[in-house]
Amino acid sequence: MRDENRWPIWDHVENGMYDAGFTNAELALRSMPTVGALTAADPHYSLVWYDHWNLNPKSTVRLTIAAALHLDEYRAVADNFIDALQALVRKAAQHRTSPFEVTEPEFTSAELKMVNIHFTDEFIRAFPRLVRYEPFGLARATWMPPGSEEWFMPLKRRVLRKYAGITTVEEYVRKVVELVGLCTTAAAPATSPIGVTGLNELTGPVSGTAVQVNSVHGDVIIHPVASPPSDDSQ
């Protein structure tokens, strides 16, 4: 993703996992802990996004921001994501609405360059692909003119205001867990064959065969299911 500005396909990931000792890479992938229920009506969140219903060699596999809590080499990307997200929050909060029509503020790659001097060109190009899937409901569309690396995206204030004041990856993941828990109808625990301990070490200890996440509004069960199909999995 860092080098090519796009996520790898499952064929590449599966073969790499096999070389690393995972003789059943798909089982390992599907064992990733997930908050929420795998249904069309409920949101859910895991360490990875992939096409759960039609996983094939061409399917795209991507990390979520929560994965940075386990991968040191991904942490810098996630920290930058949090800084960029707060820039979006500020831009949306400053937008003056109209009393007679719905208007949306826009955020551009040029603005993102001014947020943090440590943002690399690679991160700025990759940012639209990061927010395409999280936070939930934010990136309805990102526009990039043909032949250009510049982009702009409309911002949804009702989504962004939920993340106001978040300054760390840990706080962000807790917030996502909380919001998913509010929308989840039911989630049954299941056994994880590779012994994962949850989305991150802050969410609670292993209890029996499931991981229990203590959210602000009650307990959410993390269970090893996967995410819904993506629109670029083919």
Task: Write out pLDDT tens, residues 191-208.
Answer: 444 333 445 444 433 333
Question: Whole-angstrom Cα distance, residue 152 to residue 144?
Answer: 7
What is the predicted pLDDT for the residue at 25? 93
What is the predicted pLDDT for the residue at 8? 95
Average pLDDT estimate for 224-231: 40
Cβ-count burial 136-157 (b if 16+ within 10 Å, e if not): eebbeebeeeeeeeebbbbbbe
* pLDDT of 222 strictly over 80: no
* pLDDT of 211 strictly over 60: no
Delimit the domains of the chain by residue range: 72-169
Strand partners for 44: 36
Task: Write out pLDDT tens, residues 12-67.
Answer: 999 999 999 999 999 998 888 888 776 656 678 899 988 888 899 999 999 999 99
What is the predicted pLDDT for the residue at 40? 59
Handedness of CA 176, 177, 183, 186 (dihedral sign): positive
Average pLDDT estimate for 107-124: 91
Q: What one-character-per-residue DSSP string does the chain give?
A: -TTTSSPPBHHHHHHHHHHTT-S-HHHHHHTS-EEE--SSSS-EEESEE--SSS--TT-B-EE-GGGGGT-HHHHHHHHHHHHHHHHHHHHHHHPPPPSSS----EEEHHHHHTT-TT--HHHHHHHHHHHTTSSTT--S--B--TT----EEE--HHHHGGGTT--SHHHHHHHHHHHHHHH-S-------TT----SSTTS--EETTEEEEEETTEEEEEES--PPPPTT--
Average pLDDT estimate for 184-192: 46
Least confident of 45-59, 160-174, 213-227: 213-227
Question: Whole-angstrom Cα distance, residue 50 to residue 182?
Answer: 23
What is the predicted pLDDT for the residue at 98? 86
Question: Whole-angstrom Cα distance, residue 34 to residue 47?
Answer: 8
Question: Whole-angstrom Cα distance, residue 100 to residue 122?
Answer: 40
Instruction: Give the residue, 37 or 209, on which the prediction is more confident.
Output: 37
Distances (CA, A) of 188 to 79, 162, 199, 205, 219: 32, 27, 16, 17, 12
What is the predicted pLDDT for the residue at 181? 79
Task: Write out pLDDT tens, residues 60-98.
Answer: 999 999 999 999 999 999 999 999 999 999 999 998 888
Kindly report the average pLDDT of the chain as a whole number. Answer: 78
CB atoms within 10 A of CB 233: 19
In degrees and rounded to multiples of 5, residue 41 shows phi and psi of -90, -20
> From its phi and psi, is residue 82 left (phi > 0), alpha (psi between -120 and 50) or beta?
alpha
What is the predicted pLDDT for the residue at 36? 78
